[in-house]
Amino acid sequence: MAQRFVRVQNPEGQIYYGLLQLSMKVQVLDAPPWLQGQPTDLILEPDDYEILAPCAPSKIIAVGKNYAEHAAEMGTEVPAEPLIFLKPPTSVIASLGKIHYPPQSQRVDYEGELALVIGDRAFNCTPKEAQMKIWGYTIANDVTARDLQKKDSQWTRAKGFDSFCPLGPWIVRELSPGARLQTFLNEEPTPVQSATIDQMVFPPDYLVSYISQIMTLLPGDIILTGTPVGVGPLNVGDRVRIEIEGIGRLENTVVVVDT
């Protein structure tokens, strides 16, 4: 099994990066792994930590319509160049966290995606250079208030609510180009989304290069690479699970926003 890099919090509120062992113990690192964090002698027992989102990005850059069949289901052509937008860091929650259904929306959708974790400062990179800036991979759900997305002239509100970027549960360093992404709802055995990540229109190295020519990417930043065909609505009480071969599963439930 590939090494799984996690970010955890102990009962005292201290946050650590670490390596998740098969025993579910966490070997704590002395810094984020993309900043050359090294193993320490501190070991956290399974009952002594909570898994957080695997990084705390300065920004989340997402890519729209990066699978041809998804662009078609949205009634549009594949963009000639990557269609990018931002999600705020406050939208990030961990696996098993709660997605809050906002009262402003009547239609909230799931969007299962592969997420790239940036490991080194990237500016104006070539695709070849950009490949070296991708430190690892995790799973994301680009939750979207679809009715607000259609209503607004831009996507900030629809994509930016707190809890609208579930991320995790951990990061792996390598991933097969043909790894399959699948999204499941509740107890249904048939996935509502299923595609291999090599079906992307613009591959990861191209995306990082393209984005780096617009803004500087910093270590720990996240790029969401787009969702395949099969997006659909979430309802309060639903449990949505996104799986990517070679990484694991990201699972969250939908609740009413606390008032």
The tens digit of pLDDT for each residue in 108-151 reads: 999 999 999 999 999 999 999 999 999 999 999 999 999 999 99
Those residues whose C-beta lies under 8 Å from the C-beta of residue 259, and which sit 6 or more positions away, are none
Q: What is the pLDDT of residue 120?
A: 97
CA 201, CA 63: separation in Å to the nearest integer? Answer: 11
Q: How confident is the model over 177-195, as a mean pLDDT?
A: 96
Please determine, for residue 159, whether its predicted confidence score (pLDDT) is greater than 90: yes
Please determine, for residue 200, whether its predicted confidence score (pLDDT) is greater than 80: yes
Model confidence at 78, in pLDDT bands (50, 70, 90)?
Answer: confident
Q: What is the mean pLDDT of the chain?
A: 95
Q: Model pTM? A: 0.96
CA distances in angstroms from 176 to 16, 120, 137, listed in the order given: 28, 22, 11
Q: How confident is the model over 8-37, as a mean pLDDT?
A: 97
Rounded CA Rg of the chain? 18
Cβ atoms of residues 134 and 177 within 8 Å? no
Cβ atoms of residues 236 and 101 within 8 Å? yes
Please determine, for residue 259, whether its predicted confidence score (pLDDT) is greater than 70: no
Please determine, for residue 102, whether its predicted confidence score (pLDDT) is greater than 80: yes
List, in sequence order, every residue forming a beta bridge with 200; answer none if it has no partner: 67
Q: How confident is the model over 146-171, as a mean pLDDT?
A: 96
> For residue 38, what are its two tokens?
């090294």
Cβ atoms of residues 131 and 93 within 8 Å? no
Cβ atoms of residues 168 and 139 within 8 Å? yes
Q: What is the pLDDT of residue 77?
A: 77
- 11-15, 30-34, 64-68, 173-177: which has the minimum mean pLDDT? 64-68
Model confidence at 169, in pLDDT bands (50, 70, 90)?
Answer: very high
Q: What is the pLDDT of residue 72?
A: 74
pLDDT digits (tens, 9 = 90+) for 208-251: 999 999 999 999 999 999 999 999 999 999 999 999 999 999 99
Those residues whose C-beta lies under 8 Å from the C-beta of residue 14, and which sit 6 or more positions away, are none
